[in-house]
Amino acid sequence: KMQQQASDAMNSASTLPLSYVSTEQIQKHLDENKNLILAILESQKMGKVAECAHYQAILQKNLMYLAAIADAQPQ
C-alpha cells in the first residue's frame, strides 16, 4: 500500500503558477511526503536500496516544489 501511495506521489506535480496553489494542494503534497517517508523507511528495512533511492528522489522533488511555493508567497 505504501508503495502505491508513494508511486501516486510521483504523478502529483502541479502545473499551476506557484501563487495560485491552494491550501488543499499543499496538504496533498504534505500527505504524499509522509507516505514517501514511510515507504523509504520500509524499503530501508527490507534492504531495497534502489527502491529507497527512487522514493527519496520523489520526496526531494516534492520538497523543492513546496519550498518554491513558500518562496513565491508575499512576505
Give 36-70 pLDDT, tens digit per residue.
999 999 999 999 999 999 999 999 999 999 999 88
Q: What is the pTM of this model?
A: 0.74
Q: Determine the Cα–Cα distance for residues 28 and 12; give it in Å rounded to an integer.
A: 9
Q: Name the percent of the chain lying above pLDDT 70.
A: 76
Q: Is 8 a residue whose pLDDT tops 60? A: no
Report yes or no: 39 and 10 within 8 Å, Cβ to Cβ: no
Q: How far from 6 is each of 12, 54, 59, 62, CA to CA, in Å?
A: 10, 10, 9, 11
Give the SS3 label for residue 54: helix
